[in-house]
Amino acid sequence: MIILAIESSCDDTAAAVVQDGQKILSSVVASQIEKHQKFGGVFPELASRNHIAAISQITESALSQAKLRLDDIDALAVTHAPGLIGSLLVGVNFIKGLSLSTGLPVIPVHHLRSHIAANYLSDPQFSPPFLCLVVSGGHSHIVEVKDYCQFKVIGKTRDDAAGETFDKAARSLGLPYPGGVLLDELAELGNEDAFKFSKPKLTDSGYDFSFSGLKTSIINQIHNLQQKKAPIPTNDLCASFRKVVVDYLLGNFIKAAEDLHYRKLAIAGGVSANSLLRQNLSKICTQRDWHLSMPEKSLCGDNASMVGAQAYFEFLRGNIANFSLNAFANMSIEDVIFF
């Protein structure tokens, strides 16, 4: 089954053609990073306008790269939740129009489900059930993946997401947007023991996270150095801050795996490209003889290939939309939407 997929949940306009949920025939992404840098983050209205300008050309490029025509496509897929509502609507309305003109069915896909599905593209033999750490700019979840379309959230952030925390820490250090990636690179050059940041402690939190205190702690550390007119050791601060965030994420994730008796783990989302997170989790799983799946770094950020991968399994489950399909800024990964 060949699916043409569209992703426009934030600031990347993406289209891809995916076969049987596991083989990428093409993948095209139009980044808006340069357009949003002067704002220090994504400007929603600008993102929507750029999606409108790019989406037709990106779709044509994906078909051309796959050497296919619309007549060769079996179904259409689109991210419809969660995300920036204006951006989501561009993708949803575009795919509905394409469906109206071609008669092809539309498969609605949840953004976090598709991030998890990136693992099926990197490792076609990998399959549920497993426990997944989903970490991105807007989300930090520990998810039981019981089946391809059955999910249970057992832990999540109560405030900021891990990716947002990295980006805000980087911004406080004067690093350009998107700062999380650059923070990870500079951390490789620093001493992770130079500064001590305390891991948050939540009472009766289960496996939940809270990153607001960590964000405040690095801002305060920078302000203290500035007040003393001391040089800012950027690399050391990046390394020390990255270490505490990664230790915090993995602490809850590994505890959940032990408590729930999972020996098959995965990570997903933009922050799953973080080098220390991948390195430390790989070590832990190797030591315990656990199976670990990690998407290729090129599939960690927003892309349409992962949408096409998850769409295949949603289609098999019968999750097909009609023309009442809408976009939703917020929606749990657990929700099943009937149209």
Best CATH choice for the domain 2-116+299-317 from the list 3.40.190.90, 3.40.1390.10, 3.30.420.40, 3.40.50.150: 3.30.420.40
CA 107 vs. chain centroid, Å, equals 20
Report the chain's mean pLDDT, rounded to a whole number. 94
User: If you average pLDDT over residues 278-286, what whole number do you get?
Assistant: 98
Judged by average pLDDT, the poorest of 161-165, 191-195, 277-281, 288-292 is 161-165
Place of tokens 């295949």: 312
Interval 55-82 mean pLDDT: 97
Q: What distance in Å separates the CA atoms of residue 236 and residue 188, rounded to the nearest whole number?
A: 9
The pLDDT of residue 31 is 84
- Check residue 337 and give its pLDDT: 65
Using 50, 70 and 90 to split pLDDT, how confident is the model at 339? low
223 contacts: CB under 8 Å, gap ≥ 6: none
Interval 295-300 mean pLDDT: 95
DSSP state string for 174-211: TPPSSHHHHHHHHHTTS-TTSS--PPP--TT-TT-B--
pLDDT for 201 equals: 82
In the chain, % of residues over pLDDT 70: 99
DSSP letter at 141? E
User: Could you count the other beta carbons within 10 Å of the beta carbon of residue 133?
Assistant: 26
Report whether pLDDT(338) > 60: no
What whole-number distance in Å separates Cα of residue 187 and Cα of residue 277? 12
Same fold, 2-116+299-317 and 126-297: yes
For residues 213 and 245, the answer to whether their CB atoms sit within 8 Å is: no
CATH architecture of structural domain 126-297 = 2-Layer Sandwich (3.30)
Note the pLDDT tens digit of each residue in 202-225: 777 789 999 999 999 999 999 999
Which residue, among 92, 101, 11, 25, has the nearest Cα to 63 in the 3D structure?
Answer: 25
Domain boundaries, the chain: 2-116+299-317, 126-297
| Rounded average pLDDT over 31-35 | 80
Say what the pTM is. 0.94
